[in-house]
Structure 1
Amino acid sequence: MTTILVTGGTGTLGRPVVERLRADGHEVRVLSRHTSPYAVDLREGGSGLDRALDGTGTVVHCATSARGGDEQAARNLIAAARQAGVQHLVYISIVGVDRVPFPYYRTKLAVERQIEDSGTGWTVLRATQFHDLLFRLFQGLSKSPVMPLPARVKDQPVEVREVAERLAGLAQGAPAGRADDLAGPEIRTLPSLARAYLDAAGRRRALVKVPLRGAAYEAFRAGGHLAPERAVGTRTFEEFLAERFAARAGRR
């Protein structure tokens, strides 16, 4: 079996990717900033990264930071991967990075282009927002009696485990270039998703639709981050919420 390195292997997506690959019999190395034996900050690179890549045939790049540094991290990873003779780079991106001029999306698109120009076999999978992202968003907003939501914006959330299954499957195959996008089963308004969260959490909050300005907001409002033709995910936000709150109740 192939030795596979998963960057960000302790994160929301990386963890189930690692579990799936190990279940399929692969030797999997988990790279993150704080997890031994491959504790590496990709933004700095160095000998630790070289050691993690030694003998690795495939890299699944899940590591990311909303605080910046993804482009430098990708440069370091690609350079070290080429030096180590890695044959396949697999990258998780976001639906709409080429249509929505949101700063984080621009960074993801720039990393896509680095992967494509790496000279190494590559696969890029774009997915819509994870259920977990909306959960954290609504959890934070619901601390106030009033939840402000961007007006006239919809979303198409997808189950992270379904993305992990797809990403792990791609990692075990030949380089595929741009893979088909993976999107959730339903396109929903943000208020409908927020109400689903509030119902599951047993909370009552007023929802206020706030019109925003700017090119990124207009692109989100136009649905640039959606993929209605790729609604292949099966798990709904309500199903995700039922499991999440049941797990919380079980820990009490």
Structure 2
Amino acid sequence: MDVLVTGGTGRLGQRLVQPLQGAGHTVRLLSRRGTGPGGVRGDLAVGGPDLRQAAAGAEIIVHAASDPQGDPWQVDVAGTRRLVEAVDRERLRHLVYLSIVGVDRIPYGYYRAKFAAEQVLLASRLPVTLLRVTQFHDFIDFLLDSAKRGPVLPVPMGWRVQPVDVGEVAAHVTEVVAMPPSGGVVEFGGPEDLAAADLARAWAGARAPGTHVVATPVPGKLSAAVRDGAAVPSGGARGRRTYAEHLHA
């Protein structure tokens, strides 16, 4: 089938090409510049004829585009509306939206935008699956490296996470694409429910020896939600690669 991947230059988008092609699909990667093998031009932030042309030919759409550092309401929410308007409803068989575990429970602005985008898709009456995944291993690396202050690495006390390998997410997306649309939410996470402090100690041991991890109480509703397991999947399939295996690869 003809598969259009939005966010084609992103961390996950680039990893989707090989498993999707291996499953026999023709893969096009949507990005603002449309460069590279399989690249097509289209900008969810502005819409226009390029987006309409790219979306109209798709039998399957993997909607992985997002803008966590900029204006997610423009790209994730308004951009999803533009995508919905651009698809060929008679041709489209499945739209898989990449969301995040906890968007419905964690009071964080970017998560609210992702949850709003989910509601746009549910209201569209398109054949959709909302695939919520946990944080990627290399994103956990980035967060911990950014939080380090000299020899000290402070982490929120009691936070629970279940990081997942991005390659396993790409493989799972390929499986979901071939399934009938769920019409709702499914989840996918890593193999282990871990405390943030334990993750930090493992990361420090492998990447920053001599770093002292300090578990620090963090007040507020967001912190309470993560302590209560809002970032941990309650169901769905699981990856196999542990965070320790990622660190020592």
TM-score w.r.t. the length of structure 1 is 0.89
Q: CA deviation at 1:54?
A: 3.3
**1:19 matched residue in structure 2:** 18
Q: CA deviation at 1:84?
A: 7.7
Q: Distance in 2 between matches of 1:48 and 1:83?
A: 18
| Structure 2 residue corresponding to 1:101, chosen from 88, 107, 111 | 107
**1:168 matched residue in structure 2:** 174
**1:61 matched residue in structure 2:** 63
Q: Distance in 2 between matches of 1:173 and 1:153?
A: 33
Q: CA deviation at 1:139?
A: 2.0
Q: Distance in 2 between matches of 1:228 and 1:177?
A: 18
**2:214 matched residue in structure 1:** 208
Overall identity of the aligned pairs, in %: 38
Structure 1: 5+ residue runs without aligned partners?
A: 244-252
Query: Alpha carbons of 1:82 and 1:110: their partners in 2 closer, same or farther (altered >3 Å)?
Result: farther
Q: Distance in 2 between matches of 1:55 and 1:40?
A: 13
Q: Distance in 1 between matches of 2:24 and 2:235?
A: 33
Secondary structure at 1:182 match in 2? strand
The CA deviation string for residues 42-89 of structure 1, in whole angstroms up to 9 with x for no partner, is 111111112212321111000111122211111111111147843321
Q: Distance in 2 between matches of 1:8 and 1:144?
A: 35
Q: Distance in 1 between matches of 2:85 and 2:57?
A: 15
Q: Distance in 1 between matches of 2:233 and 2:5?
A: 26
Q: Partner letter of residue 52 of structure 1?
A: A
Q: Distance in 2 between matches of 1:48 and 1:75?
A: 15
Is 2:153 the counterpart of 1:151? Answer: no
Count of residues in correspondence between the two structures: 242
* Residue pair 1:61, 1:90 contacting (<8 A) in 2 also: yes
TM-score w.r.t. the length of structure 2 is 0.90
Q: CA deviation at 1:143?
A: 5.6
Deviates more, 1:126-135 or 1:79-88: 79-88
Secondary structure at 2:102 match in 1? coil
**1:250 matched residue in structure 2:** none
**2:40 matched residue in structure 1:** 38
Q: CA deviation at 1:213?
A: 2.4
Q: Partner letter of residue 234 of structure 1?
A: R
Query: Alpha carbons of 1:21 and 1:174: their partners in 2 closer, same or farther (altered >3 Å)?
Result: same
Q: Distance in 2 between matches of 1:14 and 1:239?
A: 23
The CA deviation string for residues 11-47 of structure 1, in whole angstroms up to 9 with x for no partner, is 1111222221111221111011233242322111111
Aligned residues: CA RMSD: 1.9
Secondary structure at 2:188 match in 1? coil
Q: CA deviation at 1:120?
A: 1.3
* Residue pair 2:98, 2:132 contacting (<8 A) in 1 also: yes
